[in-house]
Amino acid sequence: MAVHTRASIRPSDLNIEPSSAALLSGEQIQSAVEGVLSSTEFIDIHTHLFAPEFGNLGLRGIDELLTYHYLEAELFRSSPIRPEQYWTLSKQEQADAIWRALFVENSPISEATRGIVAVLQAFGLSTDAFDLREARAFFEAQPVEAHLRRVLKLAGVNAVVMTNDPLDPAESRVWENGGLKDRQFHAVLRLDRVLWGWSSHWKLLASQGYAVDERASGNSVNEIRRFLADWCARMRPLYMAVSLEDTFRFPDESVTNKILTEAVLPSCQEFDRPMSLMIGVRRQVNPAIRLAGDGVGRADLRAVENLCRSFPANRFLVSMLSRENQHELCVYARKFSNLMPFGCWWFMNNTSVVEEITRERIEMLGTSFIPQHSDARVLEQVIYKWRNTRVTLAKVLGDTYRSLNADGRAVTRLDIQRDVKRLFRTNFEQWTGLQRG
């Protein structure tokens, strides 16, 4: 009986480049994987970057890179400066202090300090200068628009998903005056202040004309849905999102649960938007160091189990902050097709952990997950965060395809292109309809 296999298909039948349909030998796999990873442009599904029309909300340049809260946390471990002293300094003085302590007086071997070195290298700047004059002059001289496109090209990213807070006055002004125009940037309706910050922020909705109250009682739920509908029309968000503490429980009697189940998830269904849950932060365990003061805690993933089961018509993009929650998340994703694990969030975004988690996810989910997002807060960070991801994925995917080859199935460049595209584009496009624009 004739068995039709890929070997029996002529590339000309599929109008494809003959070499990409060729079966790769074990030796050829690694360079094919690296080639495909470097030639595939990724979608960065979660960042804190802003399109040019948001002006100075978008951070870039050496002073912002160095005063990144990851580096501030490391400064206070390697310098006698006290947080209260540090906050009295100007941005430039803060950057100088961080450069001196972490790059001059110590070796920049942490993930975050190595990132700065990689960015300087990418622009041909010296990586071991005693001060920041050269770097400052370079970044100050970069025309905003051209620099933005160049950075995204260097990062191999052609679509950037922002984090947009409808209750942030500076952002609201932009949305109310023309909104987003840049075709490489996409919006997300971030609802932290509405969901877990309700008691402090409900008045903001009331001041915008929504008849809500502190307990979200009476007609508040309908008014919150009206608020979400108005912002969906204004922002055309790809998804709605919230970060939640490690203590998050579902179901419970909290206002957060009430707003989530009676307003947000029904609105997600109404507008066919996924809901992103980023779970496991312990907010402000050390308030003295501000943004750097958040910690991590292991969460009870039964909340995710209950949400996926109770809301089968909703799609959940889920990222867990604690390493101890990753295996459970993979198992739950095997149980619920409305659950998409994504990214190695924040304290997880270290090469050794990214490699471990990605191997586990491939073993348990194949290509049905989204491996990474940058979480970049400063533009140029996408350069090293995506370079690190490509290096790690080349290692993991290379091993995976060599194992498949050893199992008895050869792979082609086409297979690798399809899989990489699914991991870093198609999964997200299908869940958000990004392609449909």
Residues that bind ligand FIX (CB under 6 A): 163, 243, 278, 291, 346, 375, 377
* Residue (97 or 289) nearer to ligand FIX, CB: 289
| Binding partner of 243, given ligand FIX, Zn ion, none, CB within 5-8 angstroms per partner class | ligand FIX
Backbone torsions φ then ψ of 240, nearest 5 degrees: -105, 155
Handedness of CA 64, 70, 75, 76 (dihedral sign): positive
| Binding partner of 144, given ligand FIX, Zn ion, none, CB within 5-8 angstroms per partner class | none
Number of residues binding to Zn ion, judged by CB under 5 A: 1
Taking the CB of residue 73, how many other CB atoms lie within 10 A of it?
Answer: 17
* C-alpha to C-alpha distance for 197 and 39, rounded to whole angstroms: 42
Q: How far is the CB of 355 from Zn ion (least distance, A)?
A: 21
**Contacts of 98 by beta carbon, 8 Å cutoff, 6+ apart:** 66, 67, 71, 72, 75
* Residue (319 or 400) nearer to ligand FIX, CB: 319
| Closest to 431 measured CA to CA, from 293, 318, 329 | 318
Cβ–Cβ under 8 Å, residues 280 and 325: yes
**Contacts of 256 by beta carbon, 8 Å cutoff, 6+ apart:** 195, 196, 198, 244, 248
| Binding partner of 422, given ligand FIX, Zn ion, none, CB within 5-8 angstroms per partner class | none
* Residue (118 or 281) nearer to ligand FIX, CB: 281
By beta carbon distance, the residue nearest Zn ion is: 375
| Binding partner of 346, given ligand FIX, Zn ion, none, CB within 5-8 angstroms per partner class | ligand FIX
* Residue (328 or 375) nearer to Zn ion, CB: 375
63: exposed, middle or buried (Cβ count in 10 Å: 0-12, 13-18, 19+): buried
Strand pairing category for 295-296 and 275-282: antiparallel
Q: How far is the CB of 334 from Zn ion (least distance, A)?
A: 26
Backbone torsions φ then ψ of 43, nearest 5 degrees: -100, 125
Which parts of 364-383 interact with Zn ion (CB under 5 A)?
A: 375
Q: How far is the CB of 35 from ligand FIX (least distance, A)?
A: 30
Q: How far is the CB of 163 from ligand FIX (least distance, A)?
A: 6
* Residue (387 or 413) nearer to ligand FIX, CB: 387
Q: How far is the CB of 163 from Zn ion (least distance, A)?
A: 6
**Contacts of 323 by beta carbon, 8 Å cutoff, 6+ apart:** 348, 353, 357
Q: How far is the CB of 374 from Zn ion (least distance, A)?
A: 9
* Residue (426 or 432) nearer to ligand FIX, CB: 432
| Binding partner of 7, given Zn ion, ligand FIX, none, CB within 5-8 angstroms per partner class | none
- Residue 367 vs residues 320, 356, 391, 400: alpha-carbon distances, Å: 18, 16, 18, 12
| Binding partner of 47, given Zn ion, ligand FIX, none, CB within 5-8 angstroms per partner class | none
Token representation of residue 58: 């978008």
* Residue (276 or 427) nearer to ligand FIX, CB: 276
Q: How far is the CB of 192 from Zn ion (least distance, A)?
A: 10
Supply the angle between the helices 381-407 and 111-122 in degrees, to the nearest 10: 100
Binding site for Zn ion (CB under 5 A): 375
